[in-house]
């Protein structure tokens, strides 16, 4: 299969910069393996006081995209502090090259992982998520863990097994892990939908005054009054002033010892259905 490469990818492949290894490096990041087809070793020289990356070199065993991604990464991080460099994503590596074919995005991921490993090495921290030390291996052909797959899905917005393969190589060998990868994709997408729904529920809706009043009226008429009427009680909406809702109890609810609890329940229901800023107060008839 022939892939379309940008001029910048070709340039960094044909004339890579920062190839080699720093003597007595301050940080080392190694990812992949020759057995799996791709391997990258990143070495850094770091200024101890400022934590700026003074120099960066790489050695890689891989395709032209791996060479180009590793080479451009070293240029991107030189002069940055470790904290600044840690924010670089695989997307930014690919963008710096003018883009990569979808099937070669795993090369940019490998660069990001090597940088994360090098920074962790410098700081004496544990290896980042997705390493063989965390999670269980899903793809034995390329040694890819479930943690690495989940991370790739979340950080890159992946929605299919094919995309997971492009970004991690998982499933690109014998194919025996494809069903498990698909299950992970569905699980993560389901979690993301739930997270988004929860976020939307927590975010107050921006309603106009007319929309708010209408929604209050509908909630009272369709959900609150029918429940109260079952026990001989009732409630009437008297007025709405900003976020204050004034109601009057009728029937068995009027003068009831549990009216305070009922009022609290009405407020909870309206806050959930309309906006969490509402305050419900009882307006007693003269």
Q: What is the CATH number of the domain that holds 274?
A: 3.30.300.130
* Same-domain pairing of 8 and 40: yes
* Same-domain pairing of 120 and 142: no
Give yes or no for residue 259 having a pLDDT over 90: no
* Same-domain pairing of 14 and 121: yes
Contact 184, 150 (CB under 8 A): yes
The pLDDT tens digits of the residues spanning 81-118 come to: 999 999 999 999 999 999 999 999 999 999 999 999 99
Average pLDDT over residues 196-201: 77
Give yes or no for residue 133 having a pLDDT over 60: no
- What CATH number does residue 165 fall under? 1.10.10.1100
Measured distance CA(147)–CA(151) in Å, rounded: 6
Q: What is the pLDDT of residue 155?
A: 92
* Same-domain pairing of 69 and 7: yes
Q: Which residue would you say has higher pLDDT here, 34 or 110? A: 110
* Same-domain pairing of 195 and 275: no
Q: Does residue 107 have an active-site annotation?
A: yes
Boundary residue ending a domain (180, 203, 226): 203
3-state secondary structure of 210: helix
Q: Does residue 36 have an active-site annotation?
A: yes
* Same-domain pairing of 27 and 122: yes
* Same-domain pairing of 264 and 167: no
* Same-domain pairing of 176 and 272: no
Domain count, the chain: 3
Q: What is the pLDDT of residue 28?
A: 96
Q: Which residue would you say has higher pLDDT here, 91 or 132? A: 91
Q: Does the CA dihedral 181-186-190-196 come out positive or negative?
A: positive
Domain housing 121: 1-127
Boundary residue ending a domain (83, 110, 127): 127
* Same-domain pairing of 189 and 174: yes
* Same-domain pairing of 260 and 180: no
One of 107, 139, 141, 253 is an active-site residue; which one?
A: 107
- What CATH number does residue 44 fall under? 3.90.1010.10
Please list the alpha-helical segments (H only) found in the chain.
Answer: 7-14, 64-77, 82-86, 90-96, 105-123, 146-156, 161-168, 178-202, 209-219, 225-229, 259-273
Average pLDDT over residues 170-178: 92
Give yes or no for residue 277 having a pLDDT over 90: no
* Same-domain pairing of 152 and 198: yes
Q: What is the pLDDT of residue 127?
A: 66
Share of the chain above pLDDT 70, in %: 90
Q: Which residue would you say has higher pLDDT here, 131 or 121? A: 121
Average pLDDT over residues 210-225: 91
* Same-domain pairing of 274 and 179: no
Q: What is the pLDDT of residue 203?
A: 59
The pLDDT tens digits of the residues spanning 223-254 come to: 998 888 888 888 889 999 989 999 988 887 77
Boundary residue ending a domain (155, 177, 203): 203
Q: What is the pLDDT of residue 170?
A: 92
Measured distance CA(123)–CA(190) in Å, rounded: 35
Banded pLDDT at 68 (limits 50, 70, 90): very high
Banded pLDDT at 7 (limits 50, 70, 90): very high
Banded pLDDT at 130 (limits 50, 70, 90): very low
Give yes or no for residue 56 having a pLDDT over 90: yes
């Amino acid at each position: 299969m022939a892939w379309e490469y940008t001029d910048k990818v070709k340039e960094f492949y044909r004339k890579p910069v920062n190839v080699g290894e720093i003597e007595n490096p301050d940080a080392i990041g190694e990812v992949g393996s020759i057995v799996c087809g791709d391997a990258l070793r990143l070495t850094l020289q770091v200024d101890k006081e400022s934590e700026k990356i003074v120099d960066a070199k790489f050695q890689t065993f891989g395709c032209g995209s791996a060479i180009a991604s590793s080479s451009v990464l070293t240029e991107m991080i030189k002069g940055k502090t470790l904290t600044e460099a840690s924010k670089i994503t695989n997307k930014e590596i690919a963008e710096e090259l003018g883009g990569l074919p979808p099937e070669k995005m795993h090369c940019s991921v490998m660069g990001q992982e090597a940088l994360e490993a090098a920074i962790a090495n410098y700081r004496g921290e544990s290896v980042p998520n997705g390493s063989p030390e965390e999670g269980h291996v899903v793809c034995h052909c390329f040694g890819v863990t479930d943690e690495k797959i989940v991370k790739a899905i979340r950080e890159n917005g992946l929605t299919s097994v094919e995309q997971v393969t492009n970004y991690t190589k998982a499933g690109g060998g014998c194919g025996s892990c494809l069903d498990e990868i698909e299950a992970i994709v569905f699980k993560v997408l389901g979690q993301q939908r739930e997270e988004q729904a929860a976020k939307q529920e927590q975010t107050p809706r921006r309603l106009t005054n007319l929309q708010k009043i209408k929604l209050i009226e509908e909630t009272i008429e369709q959900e609150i009054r029918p429940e109260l009427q079952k026990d001989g009680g009732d409630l009437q909406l008297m007025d709405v002033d900003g976020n204050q809702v004034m109601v009057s109890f009728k029937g068995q609810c009027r003068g009831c010892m549990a009216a305070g609890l009922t009022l609290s329940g009405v407020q909870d229901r309206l806050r959930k259905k309309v906006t969490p800023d509402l305050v419900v107060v009882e307006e007693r008839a003269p």
